[in-house]
Amino acid sequence: MSRKLYIVGNGFDIHHGIPSRYSDFKEYLSNVNGTLHDHVIKYLQVEENWCDLESAFAYLDVDSVIDEGMQFLQNYSADNWSDSFHHDYQYEMGKIVSNLSSGLKIHFCEWVRLLKMKSIEELICQPVNIDRDGLFLTFNYTLTLERTYCIRESNVKHIHGKSDDDESEIILGHSWSPEEIPNLNDVSNPEDMDTRIMEGNELINDYFGDTFKPADKIVRENYSFFNSLKNVEEVIVLGHSLSEVDIRYFEEVLINVKDNAKWIVTFYGDSELKSHKMTMAGLGVKNVKFCGLSEIR
């Protein structure tokens, strides 16, 4: 049983010259689907470089989506009434939310598959000194560990899927449980609502479920991997942002590794160091050292 666990995030790929930032995906999307790119900016509260894209799924600007749909909500007394008016509002709402959920994921998977990995001999950067016999919990969709470092597939757990998976197996989304998000049809007098509006609201309700990353369920489905960490004495975090959407997995690792396990957490810049220290303290990890990726020995 391995005594080392590596937790790998996107900073690891970036270190190896792979253009895998969300800002790179933003540029890709603007070239292949400008309308969807603009919808992300208009309806999701993303920062300029899209680094918070996954979290932003939970902050859909519902009011703006509804305002857009209202342009297609015709009055029943309209002189030019057509039977199609029964569905135009829902159709427009559905286009927006499906684009931001399934449509965005399809393009994301296409982009991930285009990312190229180099052999270790082709690297421009200094390779990271890692134990190839360790266990690897990677949040990356790329196959850098397997193809650049020749890590055995059996030692690598791609917790959110990998580039050669089917699109349905790629996991991308926010960490808010749909139960935490208000149901738009939970009103005091639903019988007074326009049926078209209720159906449009349901599309938005479904969107939050479709873009939810079910960490608890994923942990349960990967019980055997987490249970295999019982002998781990050292946890090395390589290029992970320790973002809120992934904290549940770190909690599970803590439950399973040895109580006195040593942690090494890499960071990039003073701001990330400060954030990482706060996160690790919040997790209750005391035996921890912080360093840059190039300092891993």
Same domain, 135 and 12: yes
* Residue 102 structure tokens: 């399934």
DSSP string, 1-17: --SEEEEE-HHHHHHTT
Count of domains in the chain? 2
d(CA 96, CA 43): 9
Same domain, 75 and 140: no
d(CA 29, CA 25): 6
Note down the domain range covering 123. 1-18+119-175+213-297
* Residue 106, pLDDT score: 95
**CA 284 to mean position of chain CA atoms:** 24
Same domain, 5 and 39: no
User: Which residues have a Cβ under 8 Å from the Cβ of 292 and sit 6 or more positions away?
Assistant: 266, 267, 268
d(CA 43, CA 58): 11
Higher pLDDT, 178 or 28: 28
Whether pLDDT at 206 is above 70: yes
Task: Provide the pLDDT confidence category of residue 192 given band limits of 50, 70 and 90.
Answer: confident
Same domain, 141 and 26: no
Same domain, 28 and 165: no
Residue pLDDT, tens place only, 235-267? 999 999 999 999 999 999 999 999 999 999 999
The chain-wide mean pLDDT, for the chain, equals 93
Q: Judge contact between 208 and 246, C-beta under 8 A.
A: no
Higher pLDDT, 256 or 87: 256
Same domain, 228 and 253: yes
Same domain, 187 and 77: yes
Same domain, 144 and 194: no
154: domain CATH number? Answer: 3.40.50
Residue pLDDT, tens place only, 102-153? 999 999 999 999 999 989 889 888 899 999 999 999 999 999 999 999 999 9
Same domain, 151 and 273: yes
The predicted model gives 86-106 an average pLDDT of: 94
Q: Judge contact between 218 and 171, C-beta under 8 A.
A: yes
Q: Which of 90-94, 96-100, 183-187, 254-258 has the lowest mean pLDDT?
A: 183-187
Q: Which of 78-92, 130-144, 270-284 has the lowest mean pLDDT?
A: 78-92
Same domain, 93 and 237: no
d(CA 14, CA 108): 17
Task: Provide the pLDDT confidence category of residue 1 given band limits of 50, 70 and 90.
Answer: low
Same domain, 297 and 188: no
Residue pLDDT, tens place only, 208-217? 999 999 999 9
The predicted model gives 161-173 an average pLDDT of: 89
Same domain, 168 and 182: no
User: Which residues have a Cβ under 8 Å from the Cβ of 210 and sit 6 or more positions away?
Assistant: 101, 102
The predicted model gives 55-74 an average pLDDT of: 93
* Residue 86, pLDDT score: 86
